[in-house]
Amino acid sequence: MASAGNLLYLFDSFVALRPVYSKKFRSATQLMPIDRKPEFFKGAQLKVAIIGCGYVGLPLALRFAEAGHKVTGFDTDPNKVNMLNAGRSYIEHIPQTKIQQFVNSRHFGATTDFARLKEADAILICVPTPLDERREPDLSYVEQTAISIQPHLQKGQLVVLESTTYPGTTEELVLPILEKSGLRCPIVTGPENDNVACDFWLAFSPEREDPGNKQFGLAQIPKVVGGLNPPSGRAAVSLYAQVVARVVPVSSTRAAEMAKLLENIFRCVNIAMVNELKMLSLRMGIDIWEVIDAAATKPFGFMPFYPGPGLGGHCIPVDPYYLSWKAREYDFSTRFIELAGEVNTAMPYHVVDAIAAALNNHKKSLNGAKVLILGVAYKKDVDDLRESPTLKIMQLLQQRGAQLDYNDPYFPKLHKMRHYNYENMKSVPLNPQTLGSYDAVIVATDHSSYDYSAIVDAAKLVVDTRNATRRVMRHRDKIVLC
Ligand SMILES: NC(=O)c1ccc[n+]([C@@H]2O[C@H](COP(=O)([O-])OP(=O)(O)OC[C@H]3O[C@@H](n4cnc5c(N)ncnc54)[C@H](O)[C@@H]3O)[C@@H](O)[C@H]2O)c1
């Protein structure tokens, strides 16, 4: 049986064939019944617009396409748009074949033309939310996106912000810009507002994408959803229920925004704690990784976190500061976040001191030593450099006079970045001769493709920041854990 959405599509195609009516009927406003209900998003084949086709937006777009919807990716980067329309991937773990499949079946295409937003039933915003130079929230991408949507906003559209941000962003930043269209979406909660009138629906639903995680893909990860009012919440729940196994409604956009920050602050604080305990354990001659494995056998009340060379990625080093910043408005100091930040920021310095001490034991000074870094990505098996602690470690090593090379299978060469200039560096090949020519080899990122036994066999000294060499049996005297 044809669903309501399919009928709309048939209707759309039909009027497109009739030039006399096409202009009149083509805008989404006219295509949408005036009495469209939030539950419209439950069953129909929908037109879904994803703004921002990056690590979060692209997998989400492909998931909606997989579920049979018509998806358009909007991005300001014309190179990405061209690549997507040619069926090509620019993210390592997203297979080209998947993009090709949906481009060929016309379930997915990309554009830089934001006027086409008016054709969409649902608009999902997945643009960056970084920190600025003063480490304060930079909401310019979200703001710019809301400004791009506003002239094209239609009655009956659902808009969802997915970018990680502080509680209040959807209400205080996105809503006022969208309402400049003249369309309204009231901020109200409670059952008495179950059927409050809305021209469009607005919600927040944080993304929990974990790039490269083979155990939990988007479809298996429950999605938290908070609406600006009950109908907005129901519309967003109906939409996401089509693509994820479980949707978790909360009472407001603020609760949904805060839930995402709680998740990331939880990780940030626990990683800081275990990093601090690692430094103490090193001093006490205790193997912290053995300790964590032992503690993790407790079947309740404990969750293992692992130490490392510092925080990396787009989320954990950044997101907690969104809350610290917002907390100031309430005369509140988020001390756990500040303390965790302090400990985690110190880790690359700790690693460089440990490298200097290990070289010293080999009667070498760091100044003038040949050092090879393994892994520049912020975590194993991803082609993502954002906030990678390795970049800081490399900078500190250079400042202290080390002669530096690196290897990373995901980065054949490095480019100029904010704060760092590694423009002319190229990944050196890994073979016994090259490995043996360095005074120290540093395991900064524990990519699975590395043969750690062969690395330890060939190297003079291995400084391991991730315990990647835990299964290496030979030449353990060459390994320094730090
Ligand atoms: N990467 C992750 O693992 C992850 C996980 C969970 C949540 N998040 C959050 O998701 C959001 C997006 O992160 P990401 O990693 O996908 O970023 P990204 O940089 O990979 O992708 C963002 C995309 O948005 C595009 N863009 C920028 N401004 C735009 C605009 N005004 N209009 C249209 N497109 C625009 C960029 O060209 C880019 O393609 C952030 O808030 C981030 O904190 C990221």
Condensed to tens digits (0 to 9), the pLDDT of residues 250-299 reads 999 999 999 999 999 999 999 999 999 999 999 999 999 999 999 999 99
Neighbours of 424 (CB within 10 A): 9
Ligand 1 center from residue 190 Cα (angstroms)? 32
> Is the CB of residue 6 below 6 angstroms from any atom belonging to ligand 1?
no
pLDDT score for 34: 57
Alpha carbons 104 and 97: distance in angstroms, whole number = 10
Which fold is adopted by the domain 285-481?
A: Rossmann fold (3.40.50)
CB 160 within 8 A of CB 123: yes
DSSP 361: H
* Amino acid at position 316, single letter: I
Residue 319 to residues 98, 125, 169, 258, 478, Cα–Cα distance (Å): 30, 17, 13, 11, 38
Which residues, 6 or more positions from 479, have their beta carbon under 8 angstroms from its beta carbon? 456, 462, 464, 469, 472
Which atom from ligand 1 is nearest to the alpha carbon of 315? 43
Domain boundaries of the chain, sorted by first residue: 4-254, 285-481
pLDDT score for 135: 87
| Partners of residue 416 on adjacent β-strands | 421
> Is the CB of residue 72 below 6 angstroms from any atom belonging to ligand 1?
no
Ligand 1 center from residue 58 Cα (angstroms)? 9
Residue the block writes with tokens 């937006």: 57
Which fold is adopted by the domain 4-254?
A: Rossmann fold (3.40.50)
> At what angle are helices 335-361 and 319-328 packed, to 10 degrees?
140
Residue with CA closest to ligand 1 atom 1 = 55
Which atom from ligand 1 is nearest to the alpha carbon of 163? 41
> Is the CB of residue 53 below 6 angstroms from any atom belonging to ligand 1?
yes
DSSP 428: P
Q: Which residue numbers are catalytic? A: 315
> Is the CB of residue 54 below 6 angstroms from any atom belonging to ligand 1?
yes
Alpha carbons 15 and 6: distance in angstroms, whole number = 14
Q: Which element (helix H / strand E) includes 31?
A: helix 28-31
> Is the CB of residue 164 below 6 angstroms from any atom belonging to ligand 1?
yes
Do 4-254 and 285-481 agree at the fold level?
yes
> Is the CB of residue 204 below 6 angstroms from any atom belonging to ligand 1?
no
DSSP 329: T
pLDDT score for 16: 31
| Partners of residue 249 on adjacent β-strands | 225
Q: For residue range 68-105, what is the model confidence (pLDDT) as tens digits?
A: 999 999 999 999 999 999 999 999 889 999 999 999 99
> Is the CB of residue 225 below 6 angstroms from any atom belonging to ligand 1?
no
Ligand 1 center from residue 334 Cα (angstroms)? 26
Which atom from ligand 1 is nearest to the alpha carbon of 55? 16
Which atom from ligand 1 is nearest to the alpha carbon of 58? 16
Q: Which portions of the chain are predicted below pLDDT 50?
A: 1-32
**What is the best residue among 126, 177, 205 to mutate for testing ligand 1's pocket, by most ligand atoms within 8 Å of CB?**
126
Query: What is the rounded end-to-end Cα distance, in angstroms, of the chain?
Result: 63
